[in-house]
Amino acid sequence: MKILLINPNTTEALTELLTEAARRVLPEGVTLDSVTAPTGVPYISTRTEAVLGGLSVLEILAERHQDYDAAIIAAFGDPGLGAARELFDIPVVGLAEAGMLTACMLGGRFSIVTFAQALGPWYRECVDWHRLGARCASVRMLDGQFSSISDVQAEKTDLLVGLAMRAVEEDAADVIVLAGAPLSGLAEQVRDRIPVPVIDCAAAALLQAV
**Per-residue pLDDT reduced to its tens digit, 162-208:** 999 999 999 999 999 999 999 999 999 999 999 999 999 999 999 99
| pLDDT at residue 122 is higher than 80 | yes
Helices (H) then strands (E): counts for the chain: 8, 8
For the segment(s) 96-199, the CATH number from 3.40.50.300, 1.20.1510.10, 3.40.50.12500, 1.10.1200.10 is 3.40.50.12500
**Per-residue pLDDT reduced to its tens digit, 7-38:** 999 999 999 999 999 999 999 999 999 999 99
CA dist., res. 190 & res. 196, Å (int): 11
Q: How sure is the predictor about 4, in pLDDT bands with cuts at 50, 70 and 90?
A: very high
**Per-residue pLDDT reduced to its tens digit, 130-159:** 999 999 999 999 987 787 888 888 899 999
Q: How sure is the predictor about 100, in pLDDT bands with cuts at 50, 70 and 90?
A: very high
* Single pTM value for the model: 0.93
Q: What is the mean pLDDT of the chain?
A: 95
Structural contact between residues 10 and 39, judged by C-beta atoms closer than 8 angstroms: yes
> Where in the sequence of the chain do the CATH 3.40.50.12500 domains occur?
2-94, 96-199
**Per-residue pLDDT reduced to its tens digit, 70-86:** 999 999 999 999 999 99
- pLDDT top residue among 52 and 46: 52
The full DSSP string for 137-201 is EEEEE--S--S-GGGHHHHHHHHHHHHHHHHHHHH--SEEEE-SGGGTTHHHHHGGGSSS-EEEH
User: Is the CATH number 1.10.3720.10 carried by domain 2-94?
Assistant: no
